[in-house]
Structure 1
Amino acid sequence: MTKKIAISIPKGGMGKTTTAVNLAAGFAIAEKRTLLIDFDPAGACALSLGFDEENMHGDIFQVFSFSKFIDSVVHKTELPYLDFIPCQINTYDLEERINRLSRNIYLFSNILDQQALTEYDYIIIDCPPYMKGLTTVALAAADSVLIPLRAGQFSVAALKKMFNQIEWVKSTINSELKIEGILLNMYEPRTKAWSLTIESLSKHFKEYLFESVIPKSIAISEAEFYGKPSILFDMKSKGAIAYLNLTAEILNKNANPNIYRLSDAHQSNLRR
């Protein structure tokens, strides 16, 4: 059965796209058939995978507007188990049009239920950094939400908004929506900003924190310039290893949903 994970938080700069690309690559390396769908009009997933306008043949907008079938806009990547659907919304008019189409909240859910997508083990959806429109459509279709988070008071405020939106979606659209976890991103241990952030998270969101954390890493940023997931750019880098750990954690969590718990050792590390 296909597991659909939305990567979302209503704030820019949290690392949503980087997380979506590297988690999808991690699943692919684990030989899980994976489809990455870019829902962000910025279209950064394509750049992170080495695509440009010349080597793309359709996008999610064309599926939404019924001008193409979804299987015709699937792009193969250099990873045999990873496919990709880009988002090529490069004008204001197109963005406004897809926002109007997104008022049909169940449209994307129906698209993902098509037979052509049942072959995938995981579908990763990279959401835009706002709560309305495409994000709501993605949450209506998703099984769970993964929330990347940087240090800072504004980040925690955005996290609270995200939880409010999830509760609204659960109560009105998708009662089965779960929280996959909160991912500490661009993590710098022993810094005051992170200490304060973790202190705040521990009061209200402790049970949702992943054991895996993604460190601040130059290699991750460099990989994006070369159009590669960090896992392919430098598998020995701290960032790549962290994303592989996250992949393994999610795979284990979904294999053993009733016994998976956040480890006491990890909580001790967070308090340091």
Structure 2
Amino acid sequence: MIRIAVANQKGGVGKTTTAINLATALAASGWKVLLIDFDPQGNASTGLGVERATRDRSSYELLLGECTLAEAAIATRVPRLDIVTATQDLSGAEIELVEHERRTHRLDAAISNMPVGRWDICLIDCPPSLGLLTINALVAARMLLVPLQCEFFALEGLSQLLQTIERVRGRFNPGLSILGVALTMYDRRNRLSEQVAQDVRACLGDAVFETVIPRNVRLSEAPSHGVPALIYDHRCPGSEAYMALARELIGRLPKPAEAA
């Protein structure tokens, strides 16, 4: 199963929106997709229409070993897309795991214990921090997708994230690679957006996806309706951009049967 962490320690960069809509696009392309909501805010779960009262077995119970991945995963309204939900309890997991051995490998172990074949690909929606939850996701993942907002401070945050990735590679997961950087919240009317995009491409080259995600009100509205933007309004510029990004992403992925 292909494992991708969607991470950026800076909040408000479109990380969860990217995770939800790419998961939906992959499912629509015929992939069997699992989305793990690993953010205590639980926005990915809300964005896929899972009510908080129904989140009985979440990523918190999974991380603490109180349930298996198969027990935690539930179906969504999107065919071929399952989710492991998140609750506020997850915010206390870092403290509770202090005494556990291999606390950085808890999510990796939970995914590795899953029998092969149920899902082709797993996306992990990380919290906006570089704490133990994100480290668990980076250890469990084989590839990293970085949504990057087209604003000035984004470059500074990217530098911090790249340093963390190198530490994770050195200590825990030498096989972790960067699948790509997705430029989000791009405003063609704003010269700063274009300047940031040029700077990121100059720094990271081909690691940056050609597709950029524009600022789009429909992307912001969709979560309140409990559906991905690709279902809420598949013709809006944001949805069309995410479909293009998904096609580009698929081109960078190994075939499901080739994935570890």
The answer for the alignment partner of 1:247 in structure 2 is 246
Q: Is the 8 A contact 2:142 2:177 kept in 1?
A: yes
The answer for the alignment partner of 2:15 in structure 1 is 16
1:147-197 Cα offsets, whole Å, 9 max, x none, are 001122211100111111111111111111110111010111242211221
The answer for the alignment partner of 1:57 in structure 2 is 56
- Closer/same/farther in 2, CA of residues 102 and 195 from structure 1, 3 Å limit: farther
Is 1:38 aligned with 2:37? yes
The answer for the alignment partner of 2:25 in structure 1 is 26
Q: TM-score, normalised by structure 1?
A: 0.88
Cα root mean square deviation, aligned:
1.9
The answer for the alignment partner of 2:159 in structure 1 is 160
1:130-141 matches, cutoff 5 A: 130-141=129-140
Structure 1 stretches lacking a partner, 5+ long: 257-272
Q: Is the 8 A contact 1:103 1:133 kept in 2?
A: no
Q: Is the 8 A contact 1:102 1:137 kept in 2?
A: no
- Closer/same/farther in 2, CA of residues 93 and 188 from structure 1, 3 Å limit: closer
The answer for the alignment partner of 1:72 in structure 2 is 71
Q: Is the 8 A contact 2:60 2:90 kept in 1?
A: no
Structure 2 stretches lacking a partner, 5+ long: 256-260
Equivalent pairs counted in the alignment come to 255
Task: Report the CA distance between 1:102 and its aligned residue.
Answer: 9.2
1:93-112 matches, cutoff 5 A: 93=92, 96-97=95-96, 104-112=103-111
- Closer/same/farther in 2, CA of residues 92 and 129 from structure 1, 3 Å limit: closer
- Closer/same/farther in 2, CA of residues 222 and 199 from structure 1, 3 Å limit: same
- Closer/same/farther in 2, CA of residues 100 and 153 from structure 1, 3 Å limit: farther
For residues 160 and 102 of structure 1, the distance between their equivalents in structure 2, rounded to whole angstroms, comes to 30
Task: Report the CA distance between 1:145 and its aligned residue.
Answer: 0.5
The answer for the alignment partner of 2:258 in structure 1 is none
The answer for the alignment partner of 1:187 in structure 2 is 186
Q: Is the 8 A contact 1:33 1:81 kept in 2?
A: yes
Give the secondary-structure state (helix, strand or coil) at the position aligned to 1:57.
coil
For residues 166 and 92 of structure 1, the distance between their equivalents in structure 2, rounded to whole angstroms, comes to 22
Give the secondary-structure state (helix, strand or coil) at the position aligned to 2:165.
helix
1:188-238 Cα offsets, whole Å, 9 max, x none, are 124221122123213311221101111111111111110110011111111
Task: Report the CA distance between 1:28 and its aligned residue.
Answer: 0.6
Instruction: Extract structure 1 runs of 4+ deviating beyond 4 A.
Output: 90-95, 98-103
- Closer/same/farther in 2, CA of residues 89 and 98 from structure 1, 3 Å limit: farther
Identical pairs, percent: 29
When structure 1 is superposed on structure 2, of 36-45 and 117-126 the one drifting more is 117-126
Aligned residue identity for 1:156: L
Higher strand share: 2
For residues 202 and 193 of structure 1, the distance between their equivalents in structure 2, rounded to whole angstroms, comes to 14
